């Protein structure tokens, strides 16, 4: 191991996600390969490597460090400098040195191929072990209690390693060297099946097989997973799926389906090469995929939609279960309608007693609640619909570092929060809608975990403009020295600009359902000229009264009634929107509009989609947020269609887009019997056309070349593709959300970027 020449020494600092991902053993292995001496250790968020040997070997060592890093590691920087030779004879992994600094916590990683193979290998000592992991895979964020990441600070601490696991853990050449979650059939966590009352019915393999039989017979089983509970049933059994929906109070919202293999995914959906890579990658999100005709999965899994949410098994327990059932499983979050998912055994037994027929439990505690992430591909690139497991808590950057540590508490719906220190932004996993006590408790617990894990004590809070949101109350209750409020759509555009590192003024197109405007009205179709410090509203949809306020968002016909009230002559065109609505309901709504009772004014793209869906007779009544838009998109498919005109007028420098002529044209054509799919496509093209024209006009007038697109409406692939193409073909640069999604999950990050920039300017 000693070099022939006097050894040359180097000190290498690696930053990024390099802890808890098997990085030190990996360094050890390549050092051994090249016969180098020295040491590797974790220091705060970085890995420090001291190596000595001959120059050629050192160069190769460095090249391989970059090229062969473990799949879960993300190297941000790798800095190498000459150092003094210590004359050491061997290479060692030394203990973690604890120090302050930005220390990324790795996200949870799906089971790797090697562990999967061991799981199925009858002669291996981890045959069918439901908690098999290695340095390349397994839970991380959900089991980590504190940093540095060592077994005693995880929920695996209560499982003392057996002799053989200890050996592997301590052997540098072993795949499980320093695998903090190492376990086997002798020493690992235990799985058991419990009745609704909590009585243990079976354990180990028998428990898994009995859970599988229950599923095959049409039962609903609550399954403790990685970041929380799932509710599972046979996805090919229509009655079972309907039973699950009924018990969970989830009428029509699509349910995700889990399969064991890529081949299984291809049986129910069409999967591109890029989609296949993400589907089976370490993040393993739910992918929204075009549904295959005649697939075994029952239609009630995702009613009236052209796509289906599919994920691959990501834990060993999932694999064992799916092998035993032999059918794709609905795997939806273990909660009632919009509450947070359950994570504890007792909590699940209490909250899900009326939903599940049995509970498949285990005793590896889940310390952080993390939902499955959701992704859809648009134009060949992934678009995050929900950024959670597999992604959080990886940090992002804000372009302007914050002089003070801050917390941005996020929006009202699809909430996340973001903690910032310097230029590191730690966006929380999906929290959900801040509408229940449970969600508030979840918010506080998650925030506390983030503060502890990343050791950030915020002194500034950033929140939404809305005075009445629960997030605003949370902000006040934090009692911090300073409070900054950021308009919702400004935050959308700031989020997109910031993740691309852009601090210059851009044209920002923010399209979504709702956000509190600075004029007190409901905003949601806004073209801004903005940078991180501020914005001007340059265009928006013409205001429409929303009878019933929030109720209108759940019943598209009410929005149509709002639009119809703007032009009494247009009544015939709106006729289809009110089929099935009683005269009494109509009368109440008419009164609300006339007297302006609980009837806010809205400029909302989401509500325009609702109105169009009602006018086309696609959806009038009860619906979940975004349903009408998703159904219209599904109907439109890829039908080629021409646009219809919207009115564009200018009022004191602000452009107003009037969709009434479009809605009337759609209603009239529907009455004449035009095909609804073509009309849905024409609706999309009309909106795209109007948005592109308005954005171009503003870009021209302001001499700007960059447009940022944000807001939940851009989850609509046709809308996003169309607007982007229209703008790029006119020569503009278009920024689209990439590391975060377009929807409100990105708001807290946008608030944080704005807050940081404002604080930095004030310094
Ligand atoms: Zn593994
Ligand atoms: Zn063991
Ligand atoms: Fe929004």
CATH class of the structural domain 8-93: alpha beta
Spell 461-478 as b/e; 16+ CB within 10 A means b: bbbbbbeebbbbebbeeb
Note the pLDDT tens digit of each residue in 28-69.
Answer: 889 988 989 999 988 877 889 999 998 899 999 999 998 888
Give CATH for domain 522-530+538-735: 3.30.420.40
393: preceding bond cis by omega (within 30 degrees): yes
- Environment of ion ligand 1 (residues, CB < 5 A): 112, 115, 134, 136-137
DSSP states along 415-462: B--EEEEEEEEEEPPP-B-TTSHHHHHHHHHHHHHHHHHHT---SEEE
Mean pLDDT for the stretch of residues 680-684: 98
Mean pLDDT for the stretch of residues 416-422: 97
* Cα→Cα distances 19→72, 93, 144, 529, Å: 10, 13, 12, 41
**Mean of pLDDT over the chain:** 94
Ligand 3 center from residue 310 Cα (angstroms): 25
Ligand 1 center from residue 102 Cα (angstroms): 27
Rounded to 5 degrees, φ, ψ at 260 are: -85, -35
Mean pLDDT for the stretch of residues 543-553: 91
Q: Which CATH number fits domain 191-374: 3.40.50.300, 1.10.645.10, 3.90.870.10, 3.30.360.10?
A: 3.90.870.10
Ligand 1 center from residue 26 Cα (angstroms): 14
Note the pLDDT tens digit of each residue in 684-731.
Answer: 999 999 999 999 999 999 999 999 999 999 999 999 999 999 999 999
**Helix residue ranges per DSSP H, 193-272:** 204-216, 238-248, 262-268
Q: What is the pLDDT of residue 24?
A: 85
Which-ligand-closest: CA of 713? 3
Q: What percent of the chain has pLDDT over 90?
A: 84
Mean pLDDT for the stretch of residues 646-650: 96
DSSP states along 250-261: -SSS---EEESS
Q: Which residue in this structure is represented by tokens 């372009």?
A: 399
Note the pLDDT tens digit of each residue in 291-308.
Answer: 998 899 999 999 999 999
Residue 4 has pLDDT above 80, yes or no: no
Sort 87 into a burial class: Cβ within 10 Å, 0-12 / 13-18 / 19+: exposed
Residue 397 near residue 424 (C-beta atoms within 8 A): yes
Distance CA 510, CA 541 (A): 11
Which-ligand-closest: CA of 175? 1
Mean pLDDT for the stretch of residues 544-556: 91
Token digits for 331?
């795997």
Q: What percent of the chain has pLDDT over 70?
A: 98
Nearest to 704 by CA among 734, 674, 682: 734
- Environment of ion ligand 3 (residues, CB < 5 A): 512, 744
Ligand 1 center from residue 108 Cα (angstroms): 12
Residue 361 has pLDDT above 60, yes or no: yes
Ligand 2 center from residue 150 Cα (angstroms): 17
Same fold, 395-500+744-762 and 522-530+538-735: yes
Ligand 1 center from residue 132 Cα (angstroms): 7
Spell 560-574 as b/e; 16+ CB within 10 A means b: bbbbbbeeeebeebb
Q: What is the pLDDT of residue 478?
A: 95
Ligand 2 center from residue 186 Cα (angstroms): 5
Ligand 2 center from residue 182 Cα (angstroms): 7
Sheet containing 460-464: give its strands across.
418-427, 396-408, 460-464, 482-486
Ligand 3 center from residue 303 Cα (angstroms): 25
Per-residue confidence band for 642, with pLDDT thresholds at 50, 70 and 90 = very high
Ligand 2 center from residue 619 Cα (angstroms): 56
Mean pLDDT for the stretch of residues 426-454: 93
Ligand 2 center from residue 126 Cα (angstroms): 9
Ligand 1 center from residue 149 Cα (angstroms): 17
Which-ligand-closest: CA of 72? 1
Low-confidence winner among 46-55, 223-232, 416-425, 695-704 (lowest mean pLDDT): 46-55
Q: What is the pLDDT of residue 714?
A: 98
Per-residue confidence band for 187, with pLDDT thresholds at 50, 70 and 90 = very high
Residue 418 has pLDDT above 60, yes or no: yes
- Would you call 517 helix, strand, or coil by DSSP? coil
Ligand 1 center from residue 19 Cα (angstroms): 16
Which-ligand-closest: CA of 126? 2
User: Would you list the domain boundaries of the chain?
Assistant: 8-93, 191-374, 395-500+744-762, 522-530+538-735
Residue 450 has pLDDT above 70, yes or no: yes
Note the pLDDT tens digit of each residue in 364-412.
Answer: 999 999 999 999 999 999 999 999 999 999 999 999 999 999 999 999 9
Mean pLDDT for the stretch of residues 270-287: 97
Distance CA 316, CA 362 (A): 13
Ligand 3 center from residue 301 Cα (angstroms): 26
* Cα→Cα distances 86→39, 50, 150, 440, 479, Å: 10, 9, 28, 54, 51
Mean pLDDT for the stretch of residues 729-739: 97
Per-residue confidence band for 3, with pLDDT thresholds at 50, 70 and 90 = very low
Ligand 1 center from residue 688 Cα (angstroms): 46
Spell 712-728 as b/e; 16+ CB within 10 A means b: bbbbbbbbbbbbbebbe
Ligand 3 center from residue 58 Cα (angstroms): 51
Which-ligand-closest: CA of 488? 3
- Would you call 636 helix, strand, or coil by DSSP? helix
Residue 100 has pLDDT above 60, yes or no: no
**Helix residue ranges per DSSP H, 298-391:** 316-325, 345-351
- β-pair type (307-312, 482-486): unpaired
CATH topology of domain 395-500+744-762: Nucleotidyltransferase; domain 5 (3.30.420)
Distance CA 623, CA 532 (A): 35
Q: What is the pLDDT of residue 98?
A: 53
Note the pLDDT tens digit of each residue in 130-155.
Answer: 999 999 899 999 999 998 888 999 99
Low-confidence winner among 308-317, 329-338, 558-567 (lowest mean pLDDT): 329-338
Mean pLDDT for the stretch of residues 520-525: 97
Q: What is the pLDDT of residue 2?
A: 44
Residue 508 has pLDDT above 90, yes or no: yes
Q: What is the pLDDT of residue 102?
A: 58
Q: What is the pLDDT of residue 157?
A: 97
């Amino acid at each position: 191991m000693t070099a022939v020449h006097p050894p040359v020494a180097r000190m290498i600092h690696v930053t990024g996600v390099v802890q808890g991902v098997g990085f030190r053993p990996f360094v050890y292995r390549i050092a051994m390969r090249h016969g180098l001496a020295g040491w590797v250790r974790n220091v705060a968020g970085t890995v420090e490597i001291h190596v000595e040997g001959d120059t050629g070997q050192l160069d190769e060592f460095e090249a391989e460090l970059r090229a062969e890093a473990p799949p879960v590691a993300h190297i941000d920087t790798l800095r190498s400098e000459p150092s003094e030779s210590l004359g050491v004879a061997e290479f060692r992994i030394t203990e973690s040195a604890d120090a302050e600094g930005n220390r990324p916590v790795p996200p949870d990683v799906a089971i790797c191929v090697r562990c999967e193979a061991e799981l199925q290998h009858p002669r291996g000592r981890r045959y069918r072990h439901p908690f098999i992991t290695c340095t390349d895979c397994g839970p991380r964020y959900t089991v980590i209690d504190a940093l540095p990441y060592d077994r005693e600070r995880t929920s695996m601490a209560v499982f003392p390693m057996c002799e053989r696991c200890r050996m592997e853990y301590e052997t540098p050449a072993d795949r499980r060297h320093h695998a903090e979650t190492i376990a086997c059939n002798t020493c690992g966590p235990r799985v058991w099946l419990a009745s609704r009352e909590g009585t243990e019915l079976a354990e180990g393999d028998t428990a898994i097989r009995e859970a599988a039989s229950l599923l095959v017979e049409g039962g609903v089983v609550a399954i403790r997973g990685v970041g929380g509970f799932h509710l599972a049933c046979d996805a090919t059994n229509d009655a079972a799926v309907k039973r699950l929906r009924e018990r969970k109070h989830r009428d029509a919202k699509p349910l995700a389906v889990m399969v064991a293999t890529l081949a299984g995914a291809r049986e129910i959906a069409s999967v591109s090469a890029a989609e296949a890579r993400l589907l089976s990658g370490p993040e393993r999100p739910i992918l929204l995929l075009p549904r295959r005709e005649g697939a075994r999965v029952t239609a009630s899994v995702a009613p009236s939609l052209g796509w289906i949410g599919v994920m691959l098994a990501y834990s060993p327990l999932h694999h064992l279960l799916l092998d035993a059932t032999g059918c794709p499983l609905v795997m939806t979050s273990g909660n009632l309608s919009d509450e947070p998912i359950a994570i504890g055994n007792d909590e699940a037994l209490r909250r899900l007693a009326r939903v599940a027929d049995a509970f498949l439990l285990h005793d590896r505690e889940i310390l952080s609640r993390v939902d499955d992430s959701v992704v859809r591909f648009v134009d060949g690139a992934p678009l995050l619909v929900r950024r959670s497991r597999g992604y959080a808590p990886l940090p992002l950057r804000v372009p302007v570092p914050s002089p003070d540590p801050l917390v941005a508490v996020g929006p009202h719906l699809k909430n996340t929060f973001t903690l910032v220190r310097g230029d590191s932004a730690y966006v929380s996993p999906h929290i959900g809608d801040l509408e229940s006590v449970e969600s508030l408790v979840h918010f506080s617990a998650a925030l506390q975990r983030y503060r502890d894990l990343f050791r950030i004590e915020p002194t500034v809070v950033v929140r939404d403009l809305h005075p009445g949101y629960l997030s605003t109350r949370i902000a006040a209750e934090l009692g911090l020295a300073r409070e900054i409020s950021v308009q919702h759509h400004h935050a959308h555009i700031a989020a997109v600009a910031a993740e691309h590192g852009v601090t210059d003024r851009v044209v920002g197109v923010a399209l979504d359902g709702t956000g509190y405007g600075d004029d007190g009205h409901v905003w949601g179709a806004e073209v801004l000229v903005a940078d991180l410090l501020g914005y001007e509203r340059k265009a928006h949809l013409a205001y429409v009264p929303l009878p019933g306020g929030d109720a209108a968002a759940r019943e598209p016909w009410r929005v149509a009634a709002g639009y119809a009230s703007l032009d009494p002559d247009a009544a015939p065109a709106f006729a289809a929107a009110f089929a099935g609505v009683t005269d009494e309901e109509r009368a109440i709504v008419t009164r609300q509009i006339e007297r302006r009772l609980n009837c806010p004014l809205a400029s909302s793209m989401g509500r325009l989609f609702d109105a169009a869906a009602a006018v086309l007779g696609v959806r009038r009544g009860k619906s979940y947020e975004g349903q009408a838009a998703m159904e219209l998109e599904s109907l439109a498919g890829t039908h080629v269609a021409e646009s219809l005109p919207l009115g564009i007028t200018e009022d004191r420098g602000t452009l107003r887009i009037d969709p009434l002529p479009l809605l009337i044209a759609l209603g009239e054509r529907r009455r004449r019997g035009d095909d609804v799919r073509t009309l849905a496509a024409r609706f999309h093209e009309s909106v795209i056309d109007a948005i592109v024209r308005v954005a171009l006009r503003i870009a021209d007038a302001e001499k700007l070349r960059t447009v940022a697109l944000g807001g939940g409406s851009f989850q609509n692939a046709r809308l996003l593709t169309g607007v982007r193409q229209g703008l790029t073909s006119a020569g503009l640069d278009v920024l689209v959300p990439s590391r975060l999604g377009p929807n409100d999950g990105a708001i807290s990050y946008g608030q944080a970027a704005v807050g940081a920039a404002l604080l930095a300017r004030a310094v």
